[in-house]
Amino acid sequence: MFLLATISDLVQISPEDFSKFSAVAIEDNINEKYANKSSDGLIGHGTGQVNVNVKFRMIVFRPFKGEILLGKITSNTENGIKISVEFFSDILVPPDLLLEGARFDYADQVWVWENEEGSTFYFDVGEIVRFRVEMEEWHDQIPNAPDLGEGAAVSERKPPYSIIGSMQMAGLGPISWW
């Protein structure tokens, strides 16, 4: 589920950060650039910024295909069930990857599964669920377009990385069922 990656990069320290200890300024810049890599700094000509080559290790969340994970249902829509783990929320279980016989209840805005015996089970928001990783989706991020005012078509931005999951096997779905 997690990978350890070693990364080398060039970090620029702005003059306003010169009052900080070097390690603190470098760490702040890494955190800013990588959302949660070191050499002697060189002062850039004309900018006053210090350029520091750094190398660091980062733990990366990337589950493998077929891995079973626990998450929490965050929303139900006719497009499927959105799930999040504590630090990642771009997980979708589409309708065709739910248990056979699952249907979307438009009145309650919730997915429902009826088993062979006629019992009804709900995929309620906030439920802890087991799901299987089926696929990863990667989307290149383009810069934001300038605001063109009202009436301009705004395309929905896809997350850079998302996971498609399934709940088609026994033992998958809300853990309270099993």
Stated pTM of the model: 0.65
Q: Which domains does the chain have, with CATH numbers?
A: 2-61 (3.30.1490.120), 68-177 (2.40.50.140)
Between strands 161-166 and 88-93, the pairing is parallel
Q: What is the DSSP string of 88-152?
A: EEEEEE-GGGSPTTEEEETTTTEEEEE-TTS-EEEE-TT-EEEEEEEEEEE----PPPPP--TT-
Coil, strand, or helix at residue 33?
helix
Q: Which residue has the higher pLDDT, 66 or 59?
A: 66
Mean per-residue pLDDT over the chain, rounded? 83
pLDDT digit string, tens, across residues 61-105: 889 899 999 999 999 999 999 999 988 889 999 999 998 888 999
Where residue 163 falls among pLDDT bands split at 50, 70, 90?
A: very high
CB 122 within 8 A of CB 173: no
Cβ neighbours of 58 (radius 10 Å): 13
Surface-to-core class of residue 173, CB atoms within 10 Å of its CB (0-12 exposed, 13-18 middle, 19+ buried): buried
